Structure 1
Amino acid sequence: MQHIQTVLAKSGAYSRRETGRMIEQKRVTVNGIPCTHSTEVLPEDVILIDGKPVPEPAERVYLAFHKPAGITCTAQKAVEGNLVDYLNWETRIFAVGRLDKASTGLLILTNDGSIVNPLMKEEAAKEKEYIVQTKRPVSDSMIEKMCEGGLLIKGKEASPAFAEKTGEFTFRIILKQGLNRQIRRMCSAFGNHVISLKRTRISHIHLDPLEPGEWRHLTTEEIQLLKEGIKGKS
Protein backbone atom coordinates (compact mmCIF):
# COMPACT_ATOMS: atom_id res chain seq x y z
CA MET A 1 0.00 0.00 0.00
CA GLN A 2 1.06 3.57 -0.62
CA HIS A 3 0.08 6.87 0.92
CA ILE A 4 -2.38 8.81 -1.25
CA GLN A 5 -0.16 11.90 -1.46
CA THR A 6 2.77 9.77 -2.63
CA VAL A 7 0.68 8.24 -5.40
CA LEU A 8 -0.63 11.62 -6.59
CA ALA A 9 2.80 13.24 -6.48
CA LYS A 10 4.30 10.47 -8.62
CA SER A 11 2.08 11.57 -11.50
CA GLY A 12 4.25 14.68 -11.78
CA ALA A 13 1.13 16.82 -12.10
CA TYR A 14 0.96 17.88 -8.46
CA SER A 15 3.37 18.64 -5.63
CA ARG A 16 2.77 17.18 -2.18
CA ARG A 17 1.69 20.60 -0.93
CA GLU A 18 -0.85 20.89 -3.75
CA THR A 19 -2.20 17.38 -3.17
CA GLY A 20 -2.59 18.25 0.50
CA ARG A 21 -4.77 21.22 -0.39
CA MET A 22 -6.91 19.13 -2.75
CA ILE A 23 -7.43 16.47 -0.06
CA GLU A 24 -8.50 19.12 2.45
CA GLN A 25 -10.96 20.46 -0.14
CA LYS A 26 -12.44 16.92 -0.56
CA ARG A 27 -11.55 16.96 -4.27
CA VAL A 28 -9.79 13.57 -4.13
CA THR A 29 -11.81 10.36 -3.90
CA VAL A 30 -10.75 6.73 -3.54
CA ASN A 31 -13.36 4.25 -4.75
CA GLY A 32 -15.92 7.05 -4.61
CA ILE A 33 -15.14 8.13 -1.04
CA PRO A 34 -13.36 11.43 -0.25
CA CYS A 35 -9.96 10.58 1.16
CA THR A 36 -8.01 12.04 4.09
CA HIS A 37 -4.32 12.77 4.61
CA SER A 38 -3.90 9.32 6.19
CA THR A 39 -5.54 7.36 3.36
CA GLU A 40 -3.49 4.51 1.88
CA VAL A 41 -4.30 2.94 -1.47
CA LEU A 42 -3.73 -0.27 -3.42
CA PRO A 43 -2.92 -0.48 -7.15
CA GLU A 44 -6.48 -1.58 -7.95
CA ASP A 45 -8.12 1.36 -6.14
CA VAL A 46 -9.86 3.99 -8.29
CA ILE A 47 -8.47 7.45 -7.55
CA LEU A 48 -10.23 10.48 -8.98
CA ILE A 49 -9.51 14.21 -8.72
CA ASP A 50 -12.55 16.38 -9.36
CA GLY A 51 -14.14 13.24 -10.79
CA LYS A 52 -11.33 12.66 -13.30
CA PRO A 53 -8.53 10.03 -13.35
CA VAL A 54 -5.08 10.95 -12.11
CA PRO A 55 -2.88 11.99 -15.08
CA GLU A 56 -0.33 9.49 -16.34
CA PRO A 57 3.23 10.19 -15.12
CA ALA A 58 5.03 12.67 -17.37
CA GLU A 59 8.63 12.33 -18.46
CA ARG A 60 10.78 13.62 -15.62
CA VAL A 61 12.40 17.00 -16.12
CA TYR A 62 15.07 18.63 -13.95
CA LEU A 63 16.18 22.15 -14.85
CA ALA A 64 18.50 24.93 -13.76
CA PHE A 65 16.79 28.26 -14.40
CA HIS A 66 18.06 31.85 -14.15
CA LYS A 67 15.09 33.62 -12.59
CA PRO A 68 14.78 37.25 -13.65
CA ALA A 69 13.46 39.93 -11.31
CA GLY A 70 9.68 40.29 -11.17
CA ILE A 71 8.84 36.56 -11.39
CA THR A 72 7.11 34.98 -8.39
CA CYS A 73 8.16 31.44 -7.41
CA THR A 74 4.73 29.85 -7.47
CA ALA A 75 2.82 27.40 -9.65
CA GLN A 76 -0.46 29.17 -8.85
CA LYS A 77 -1.61 30.71 -12.12
CA ALA A 78 -3.84 33.18 -10.29
CA VAL A 79 -0.67 35.01 -9.16
CA GLU A 80 0.47 37.60 -11.69
CA GLY A 81 3.99 36.93 -12.98
CA ASN A 82 3.92 33.30 -11.78
CA LEU A 83 6.64 30.85 -12.74
CA VAL A 84 4.34 28.53 -14.72
CA ASP A 85 3.12 31.22 -17.11
CA TYR A 86 6.63 32.58 -17.58
CA LEU A 87 8.14 29.21 -18.52
CA ASN A 88 5.08 27.96 -20.41
CA TRP A 89 6.28 24.38 -19.85
CA GLU A 90 4.21 21.56 -21.32
CA THR A 91 3.73 19.92 -17.90
CA ARG A 92 3.33 21.32 -14.40
CA ILE A 93 6.72 22.34 -13.04
CA PHE A 94 7.74 23.28 -9.51
CA ALA A 95 10.58 25.28 -7.98
CA VAL A 96 12.76 23.61 -5.36
CA GLY A 97 13.14 26.38 -2.82
CA ARG A 98 12.37 30.02 -3.50
CA LEU A 99 13.76 33.39 -4.46
CA ASP A 100 11.71 36.44 -3.61
CA LYS A 101 10.16 38.41 -6.46
CA ALA A 102 12.87 41.07 -6.58
CA SER A 103 15.77 38.60 -6.45
CA THR A 104 17.42 36.88 -9.41
CA GLY A 105 19.53 33.82 -10.04
CA LEU A 106 19.52 30.07 -9.75
CA LEU A 107 16.37 28.03 -9.24
CA ILE A 108 16.12 24.26 -9.54
CA LEU A 109 12.90 23.24 -11.29
CA THR A 110 11.27 19.85 -11.77
CA ASN A 111 7.96 18.25 -12.71
CA ASP A 112 8.76 15.33 -10.41
CA GLY A 113 6.25 16.15 -7.71
CA SER A 114 7.26 13.18 -5.56
CA ILE A 115 10.64 14.69 -4.71
CA VAL A 116 9.87 18.44 -4.48
CA ASN A 117 9.32 18.50 -0.71
CA PRO A 118 12.23 16.14 0.12
CA LEU A 119 14.47 18.24 -2.11
CA MET A 120 13.31 21.43 -0.38
CA LYS A 121 14.21 19.94 3.01
CA GLU A 122 17.58 18.83 1.68
CA GLU A 123 18.12 22.20 -0.05
CA ALA A 124 17.85 23.93 3.30
CA ALA A 125 21.07 22.19 4.40
CA LYS A 126 22.98 22.83 1.17
CA GLU A 127 25.31 25.71 0.49
CA LYS A 128 23.63 28.57 -1.36
CA GLU A 129 25.86 31.31 -2.73
CA TYR A 130 24.77 34.88 -3.47
CA ILE A 131 26.26 38.13 -4.70
CA VAL A 132 24.66 41.22 -3.17
CA GLN A 133 24.72 44.93 -3.98
CA THR A 134 23.73 47.38 -1.25
CA LYS A 135 22.59 50.99 -1.12
CA ARG A 136 25.18 52.03 1.45
CA PRO A 137 28.81 50.93 1.82
CA VAL A 138 29.29 47.42 3.18
CA SER A 139 30.67 47.72 6.70
CA ASP A 140 33.26 45.39 8.19
CA SER A 141 31.03 44.96 11.26
CA MET A 142 28.15 43.68 9.07
CA ILE A 143 30.41 41.12 7.37
CA GLU A 144 31.85 40.02 10.72
CA LYS A 145 28.40 39.54 12.25
CA MET A 146 27.17 37.54 9.24
CA CYS A 147 30.17 35.24 9.66
CA GLU A 148 29.65 35.01 13.40
CA GLY A 149 25.87 34.35 13.26
CA GLY A 150 23.32 35.14 15.93
CA LEU A 151 21.37 37.93 14.23
CA LEU A 152 17.65 37.55 14.94
CA ILE A 153 15.56 37.04 11.79
CA LYS A 154 11.83 36.99 12.60
CA GLY A 155 12.58 35.49 16.01
CA LYS A 156 15.12 32.91 14.75
CA GLU A 157 18.88 33.15 15.02
CA ALA A 158 20.85 33.32 11.79
CA SER A 159 23.50 30.61 11.59
CA PRO A 160 27.14 31.50 10.90
CA ALA A 161 27.80 32.08 7.20
CA PHE A 162 30.76 32.74 4.97
CA ALA A 163 30.75 36.38 3.84
CA GLU A 164 33.32 38.65 2.22
CA LYS A 165 33.39 42.15 0.77
CA THR A 166 33.89 42.25 -2.99
CA GLY A 167 33.61 46.02 -3.37
CA GLU A 168 32.52 49.12 -1.52
CA PHE A 169 28.83 48.33 -2.11
CA THR A 170 28.98 44.57 -2.81
CA PHE A 171 29.61 41.34 -0.93
CA ARG A 172 29.47 37.57 -1.46
CA ILE A 173 27.76 35.29 1.04
CA ILE A 174 27.30 31.53 1.36
CA LEU A 175 24.41 30.29 3.51
CA LYS A 176 23.29 26.87 4.65
CA GLN A 177 20.15 28.36 6.17
CA GLY A 178 16.99 29.44 4.41
CA LEU A 179 15.16 31.94 6.59
CA ASN A 180 12.64 34.14 4.80
CA ARG A 181 14.36 37.14 3.16
CA GLN A 182 17.37 36.38 5.35
CA ILE A 183 20.03 38.40 3.54
CA ARG A 184 17.78 41.43 3.15
CA ARG A 185 16.87 41.35 6.83
CA MET A 186 20.48 40.94 7.94
CA CYS A 187 21.43 44.00 5.92
CA SER A 188 18.49 45.95 7.34
CA ALA A 189 19.73 45.16 10.84
CA PHE A 190 22.78 47.29 10.00
CA GLY A 191 20.79 50.13 8.45
CA ASN A 192 21.64 49.01 4.93
CA HIS A 193 19.37 48.15 2.02
CA VAL A 194 19.75 45.48 -0.70
CA ILE A 195 19.67 46.91 -4.22
CA SER A 196 20.20 43.59 -6.00
CA LEU A 197 20.56 39.98 -4.89
CA LYS A 198 21.55 37.12 -7.18
CA ARG A 199 21.94 33.44 -6.26
CA THR A 200 24.84 31.95 -8.18
CA ARG A 201 25.04 28.43 -6.78
CA ILE A 202 23.09 25.74 -4.92
CA SER A 203 25.48 23.06 -3.71
CA HIS A 204 27.06 21.49 -6.82
CA ILE A 205 24.80 23.31 -9.32
CA HIS A 206 26.02 26.64 -10.72
CA LEU A 207 24.15 29.46 -12.43
CA ASP A 208 26.77 30.31 -15.08
CA PRO A 209 26.56 30.61 -18.03
CA LEU A 210 22.78 31.10 -17.99
CA GLU A 211 21.45 34.57 -18.77
CA PRO A 212 18.26 35.90 -17.09
CA GLY A 213 15.28 33.89 -18.36
CA GLU A 214 17.42 31.03 -19.71
CA TRP A 215 17.33 27.43 -18.49
CA ARG A 216 19.18 24.18 -19.08
CA HIS A 217 18.61 20.52 -18.27
CA LEU A 218 20.58 19.25 -15.30
CA THR A 219 23.22 16.70 -16.15
CA THR A 220 22.83 13.06 -15.14
CA GLU A 221 25.51 13.57 -12.50
CA GLU A 222 23.79 16.68 -11.07
CA ILE A 223 20.47 14.82 -10.81
CA GLN A 224 22.13 11.81 -9.19
CA LEU A 225 23.77 14.00 -6.54
CA LEU A 226 20.42 15.67 -5.79
CA LYS A 227 18.70 12.33 -5.30
CA GLU A 228 21.56 10.93 -3.24
CA GLY A 229 21.02 13.82 -0.84
CA ILE A 230 17.40 12.74 -0.36
CA LYS A 231 18.39 9.11 0.24
CA GLY A 232 20.99 10.24 2.74
CA LYS A 233 18.38 12.20 4.70
CA SER A 234 15.92 9.31 4.72
Structure 2
Amino acid sequence: MRINKFIANSGFTSRRKADDLIIQGRVKINGQTIYEPGIQVVDGDKVEVEGKLLTIEKKFYIKLYKPVGFITSNFDPYNELDLNDLLDIDKRFFAAGRLDKDSEGLLIITNDGEFTNNLIHPKFKLDKEYIVKIDRKLRASQEKKFEKGLDIGNGEKTSDAKLEYLGNNTYSVIIHQGFNRQIRRMFKVLGARVIELKRIRIGKIFLGDLKEKEYKYFSKDELKFVDEMIR
Protein backbone atom coordinates (compact mmCIF):
# COMPACT_ATOMS: atom_id res chain seq x y z
CA MET A 1 0.00 0.00 0.00
CA ARG A 2 1.28 3.47 -0.89
CA ILE A 3 2.29 5.56 2.11
CA ASN A 4 -0.16 8.37 1.31
CA LYS A 5 -3.04 5.88 1.18
CA PHE A 6 -1.90 4.33 4.48
CA ILE A 7 -2.00 7.75 6.15
CA ALA A 8 -5.46 8.46 4.72
CA ASN A 9 -6.77 5.06 5.79
CA SER A 10 -5.52 5.69 9.31
CA GLY A 11 -7.90 8.63 9.52
CA PHE A 12 -5.09 11.13 10.15
CA THR A 13 -5.82 13.24 7.07
CA SER A 14 -6.74 12.99 3.40
CA ARG A 15 -4.46 11.41 0.79
CA ARG A 16 -3.88 14.82 -0.79
CA LYS A 17 -2.79 16.38 2.49
CA ALA A 18 -0.72 13.31 3.28
CA ASP A 19 1.30 14.02 0.12
CA ASP A 20 2.09 17.49 1.46
CA LEU A 21 3.20 16.09 4.83
CA ILE A 22 5.48 13.59 3.12
CA ILE A 23 7.10 16.21 0.87
CA GLN A 24 7.63 18.42 3.94
CA GLY A 25 9.57 15.60 5.63
CA ARG A 26 7.04 15.10 8.44
CA VAL A 27 6.56 11.38 7.85
CA LYS A 28 8.76 8.48 8.96
CA ILE A 29 8.73 4.77 8.14
CA ASN A 30 10.59 2.62 10.67
CA GLY A 31 12.27 5.73 12.05
CA GLN A 32 13.51 7.01 8.69
CA THR A 33 12.14 10.25 7.20
CA ILE A 34 10.72 9.75 3.70
CA TYR A 35 9.92 12.28 1.00
CA GLU A 36 8.24 10.23 -1.75
CA PRO A 37 4.42 9.75 -1.65
CA GLY A 38 4.76 6.64 -3.81
CA ILE A 39 6.77 4.60 -1.30
CA GLN A 40 5.08 1.33 -0.36
CA VAL A 41 4.21 0.32 3.20
CA VAL A 42 4.28 -3.40 4.03
CA ASP A 43 3.02 -5.39 7.02
CA GLY A 44 5.13 -4.70 10.09
CA ASP A 45 6.24 -1.21 9.03
CA LYS A 46 5.89 1.53 11.65
CA VAL A 47 4.54 4.76 10.20
CA GLU A 48 4.81 8.03 12.12
CA VAL A 49 3.40 11.42 11.18
CA GLU A 50 4.66 14.36 13.21
CA GLY A 51 5.75 11.91 15.91
CA LYS A 52 2.40 10.09 16.09
CA LEU A 53 2.41 6.35 15.40
CA LEU A 54 -0.42 5.50 13.01
CA THR A 55 -2.57 2.40 12.73
CA ILE A 56 -5.24 1.62 10.18
CA GLU A 57 -8.76 1.52 11.56
CA LYS A 58 -11.58 -0.27 9.80
CA LYS A 59 -13.66 2.25 7.87
CA PHE A 60 -17.41 2.44 8.36
CA TYR A 61 -20.19 4.40 6.68
CA ILE A 62 -23.61 5.08 8.17
CA LYS A 63 -26.67 7.00 7.01
CA LEU A 64 -28.59 8.69 9.81
CA TYR A 65 -31.93 10.52 9.98
CA LYS A 66 -31.11 13.60 12.08
CA PRO A 67 -34.22 15.14 13.65
CA VAL A 68 -34.76 18.85 14.19
CA GLY A 69 -33.12 20.08 17.40
CA PHE A 70 -29.82 18.18 17.12
CA ILE A 71 -26.54 19.80 16.10
CA THR A 72 -24.19 18.19 13.59
CA SER A 73 -21.36 17.58 16.03
CA ASN A 74 -20.21 14.87 18.40
CA PHE A 75 -18.70 17.33 20.84
CA ASP A 76 -20.63 20.28 22.21
CA PRO A 77 -19.36 22.29 25.21
CA TYR A 78 -22.81 23.85 25.70
CA ASN A 79 -24.50 20.48 26.28
CA GLU A 80 -26.85 20.74 23.32
CA LEU A 81 -28.32 17.60 21.78
CA ASP A 82 -25.68 16.27 19.41
CA LEU A 83 -24.73 13.17 17.42
CA ASN A 84 -23.72 11.27 20.56
CA ASP A 85 -27.39 11.34 21.55
CA LEU A 86 -28.32 9.62 18.28
CA LEU A 87 -25.55 7.10 17.66
CA ASP A 88 -24.41 4.20 19.81
CA ILE A 89 -20.92 3.84 18.34
CA ASP A 90 -17.83 3.13 20.42
CA LYS A 91 -15.50 4.54 17.77
CA ARG A 92 -14.18 7.88 16.56
CA PHE A 93 -16.62 9.35 14.04
CA PHE A 94 -17.76 12.56 12.40
CA ALA A 95 -20.44 13.81 10.02
CA ALA A 96 -19.57 14.18 6.35
CA GLY A 97 -21.16 17.57 5.78
CA ARG A 98 -23.45 19.81 7.79
CA LEU A 99 -27.16 20.00 8.52
CA ASP A 100 -28.23 22.89 10.74
CA LYS A 101 -30.04 22.45 14.05
CA ASP A 102 -33.40 23.52 12.62
CA SER A 103 -33.22 21.06 9.69
CA GLU A 104 -33.73 17.32 9.50
CA GLY A 105 -32.91 14.39 7.29
CA LEU A 106 -29.91 12.57 5.86
CA LEU A 107 -26.48 12.74 7.44
CA ILE A 108 -23.56 10.50 6.50
CA ILE A 109 -21.50 9.37 9.49
CA THR A 110 -18.03 7.91 9.00
CA ASN A 111 -14.44 7.74 10.21
CA ASP A 112 -13.06 8.08 6.66
CA GLY A 113 -11.41 11.47 6.29
CA GLU A 114 -10.61 11.13 2.60
CA PHE A 115 -14.18 10.17 1.71
CA THR A 116 -15.49 13.10 3.78
CA ASN A 117 -13.14 15.61 2.14
CA ASN A 118 -14.16 14.45 -1.33
CA LEU A 119 -17.84 14.44 -0.44
CA ILE A 120 -17.78 18.14 0.47
CA HIS A 121 -15.17 19.32 -2.06
CA PRO A 122 -16.66 21.78 -4.59
CA LYS A 123 -14.90 20.17 -7.57
CA PHE A 124 -17.12 17.07 -7.36
CA LYS A 125 -20.34 19.16 -7.62
CA LEU A 126 -22.18 16.47 -5.71
CA ASP A 127 -25.97 16.83 -5.77
CA LYS A 128 -27.74 17.28 -2.45
CA GLU A 129 -31.52 17.05 -2.55
CA TYR A 130 -33.97 18.60 -0.09
CA ILE A 131 -37.70 18.84 0.46
CA VAL A 132 -38.42 22.40 1.58
CA LYS A 133 -41.69 23.95 2.73
CA ILE A 134 -41.85 27.74 2.73
CA ASP A 135 -44.46 30.27 3.80
CA ARG A 136 -45.65 31.05 0.26
CA LYS A 137 -45.20 29.95 -3.34
CA LEU A 138 -42.56 31.80 -5.34
CA ARG A 139 -43.43 33.61 -8.55
CA ALA A 140 -42.16 32.03 -11.77
CA SER A 141 -39.58 34.82 -12.17
CA GLN A 142 -38.29 34.16 -8.64
CA GLU A 143 -38.00 30.43 -9.31
CA LYS A 144 -35.80 31.20 -12.32
CA LYS A 145 -33.60 33.48 -10.22
CA PHE A 146 -33.27 30.73 -7.60
CA GLU A 147 -32.11 28.27 -10.27
CA LYS A 148 -29.66 30.66 -11.96
CA GLY A 149 -27.89 31.67 -8.73
CA LEU A 150 -28.27 34.28 -6.01
CA ASP A 151 -26.07 36.63 -4.03
CA ILE A 152 -26.80 35.49 -0.46
CA GLY A 153 -24.44 37.91 1.27
CA ASN A 154 -21.02 37.60 2.96
CA GLY A 155 -19.44 37.48 -0.49
CA GLU A 156 -21.18 34.20 -1.30
CA LYS A 157 -23.03 33.59 -4.57
CA THR A 158 -24.83 30.36 -5.29
CA SER A 159 -24.33 28.45 -8.51
CA ASP A 160 -27.01 26.75 -10.60
CA ALA A 161 -29.70 24.85 -8.71
CA LYS A 162 -32.79 22.80 -9.55
CA LEU A 163 -36.20 23.74 -8.20
CA GLU A 164 -39.43 21.76 -8.61
CA TYR A 165 -42.76 22.80 -7.12
CA LEU A 166 -44.52 19.90 -5.35
CA GLY A 167 -47.63 21.74 -4.18
CA ASN A 168 -48.67 23.12 -0.78
CA ASN A 169 -45.84 25.71 -0.81
CA THR A 170 -43.31 22.84 -0.95
CA TYR A 171 -40.33 22.46 -3.28
CA SER A 172 -37.78 19.85 -4.23
CA VAL A 173 -34.41 21.65 -4.17
CA ILE A 174 -31.15 20.27 -5.56
CA ILE A 175 -27.88 22.12 -4.93
CA HIS A 176 -24.22 21.10 -5.01
CA GLN A 177 -22.67 23.76 -2.80
CA GLY A 178 -22.56 23.84 0.97
CA PHE A 179 -22.66 27.41 2.25
CA ASN A 180 -23.87 27.76 5.82
CA ARG A 181 -27.71 27.62 5.91
CA GLN A 182 -27.59 28.10 2.15
CA ILE A 183 -31.15 27.12 1.19
CA ARG A 184 -32.71 29.20 3.97
CA ARG A 185 -30.68 32.20 2.84
CA MET A 186 -31.61 31.67 -0.82
CA PHE A 187 -35.33 31.72 -0.07
CA LYS A 188 -34.88 34.68 2.28
CA VAL A 189 -33.31 36.72 -0.53
CA LEU A 190 -36.54 36.14 -2.46
CA GLY A 191 -38.68 37.19 0.49
CA ALA A 192 -39.77 33.71 1.57
CA ARG A 193 -39.27 31.98 4.92
CA VAL A 194 -38.40 28.30 5.28
CA ILE A 195 -40.79 26.45 7.57
CA GLU A 196 -39.49 22.89 7.14
CA LEU A 197 -36.32 21.58 5.51
CA LYS A 198 -35.41 17.92 5.05
CA ARG A 199 -32.43 16.49 3.17
CA ILE A 200 -33.29 13.27 1.36
CA ARG A 201 -30.20 12.59 -0.78
CA ILE A 202 -26.43 13.13 -0.93
CA GLY A 203 -25.02 11.94 -4.25
CA LYS A 204 -26.22 8.35 -4.63
CA ILE A 205 -27.10 7.92 -0.96
CA PHE A 206 -30.82 8.28 -0.17
CA LEU A 207 -32.59 8.76 3.15
CA GLY A 208 -35.06 6.12 1.99
CA ASP A 209 -37.43 4.73 4.61
CA LEU A 210 -35.35 5.74 7.62
CA LYS A 211 -37.37 7.33 10.40
CA GLU A 212 -36.20 10.05 12.81
CA LYS A 213 -33.18 8.97 14.93
CA GLU A 214 -32.77 5.72 12.94
CA TYR A 215 -29.49 4.81 11.25
CA LYS A 216 -28.13 2.05 9.03
CA TYR A 217 -24.69 0.98 7.85
CA PHE A 218 -24.21 1.35 4.10
CA SER A 219 -25.38 -1.54 1.95
CA LYS A 220 -23.08 -3.20 -0.61
CA ASP A 221 -24.52 -1.00 -3.35
CA GLU A 222 -24.03 2.14 -1.26
CA LEU A 223 -20.41 1.16 -0.60
CA LYS A 224 -19.84 1.32 -4.37
CA PHE A 225 -20.50 5.04 -4.08
CA VAL A 226 -17.70 5.27 -1.50
CA ASP A 227 -15.34 3.59 -3.96
CA GLU A 228 -16.33 6.09 -6.66
CA MET A 229 -15.59 9.03 -4.37
CA ILE A 230 -12.09 7.90 -3.35
CA ARG A 231 -10.98 6.23 -6.59
Instruction: State TM-score, norm by structure 2.
Output: 0.75
Q: What is the CA distance between 1:77 and its match in structure 2?
A: 4.9
Contact residue 84 and residue 92 of structure 1 kept, 8 A: no
Q: Write the letter of the residue equivalent to 2:71.
A: T
* 1:65-115 Cα distance to aligned partner (Å, 9 max, x none): 111112222233536323244313111122111111111111112122343
Contact residue 149 and residue 161 of structure 2 kept, 8 A: no
Mapping for residues 145-224 of structure 1, pairs under 5 Å: 145-147=145-147, 149-153=148-152, 154-224=154-224
Q: Distance in 2 between matches of 1:207 and 1:10?
A: 26
Q: Distance in 2 between matches of 1:187 and 1:133?
A: 10
Name the SS of the counterpart of 2:101 in structure 1. Answer: coil
Q: Distance in 1 between matches of 2:102 and 2:52?
A: 38
Name the SS of the counterpart of 1:72 in structure 2. Answer: coil
Q: In 2 relative to 1, CA 223–56 (structure 1 residues): closer, same or farther, beyond 3 Å? A: closer
Q: Write the letter of the residue equivalent to 2:70.
A: I
2:64 corresponding residue in structure 1: 65
Contact residue 48 and residue 54 of structure 2 kept, 8 A: yes
Q: Write the letter of the residue equivalent to 2:3.
A: Q
Q: In 2 relative to 1, CA 114–159 (structure 1 residues): closer, same or farther, beyond 3 Å? A: closer
Q: In 2 relative to 1, CA 116–160 (structure 1 residues): closer, same or farther, beyond 3 Å? A: closer
Q: Write the letter of the residue equivalent to 2:102.
A: A
Q: Distance in 1 between matches of 2:171 and 2:97?
A: 22
Q: Distance in 2 between matches of 1:79 and 1:123?
A: 34
Q: In 2 relative to 1, CA 222–56 (structure 1 residues): closer, same or farther, beyond 3 Å? A: closer
Q: Distance in 1 between matches of 2:196 and 2:142?
A: 17
Q: Does 1:100 align with 2:100?
A: yes
2:110 corresponding residue in structure 1: 110
Q: Distance in 2 between matches of 1:157 and 1:8?
A: 35
Q: Distance in 2 between matches of 1:120 and 1:198?
A: 18
Structure 1: unaligned runs, 5 residues or longer? none
Structure 2: unaligned runs, 5 residues or longer? none
- Percent identical: 34
Q: Distance in 2 between matches of 1:123 and 1:215?
A: 28
Name the SS of the counterpart of 2:216 in structure 1. Answer: strand
Q: In 2 relative to 1, CA 171–65 (structure 1 residues): closer, same or farther, beyond 3 Å? A: same
Q: Distance in 1 between matches of 2:111 and 2:75?
A: 14
Q: Distance in 2 between matches of 1:71 and 1:166?
A: 27
Q: Distance in 2 between matches of 1:124 and 1:68?
A: 27
Mapping for residues 126-137 of structure 1, pairs under 5 Å: 126-134=126-134, 136-137=135-136
Q: Distance in 1 between matches of 2:151 and 2:176?
A: 16
Q: Distance in 2 between matches of 1:73 and 1:39?
A: 37
1:74 corresponding residue in structure 2: 73
2:86 corresponding residue in structure 1: 86
1:2 corresponding residue in structure 2: 3
1:121 corresponding residue in structure 2: 121
Q: Write the letter of the residue equivalent to 1:214.
A: E
Name the SS of the counterpart of 1:87 in structure 2. Answer: coil
Name the SS of the counterpart of 1:100 in structure 2. Answer: coil
Instruction: State TM-score, norm by structure 1.
Output: 0.74
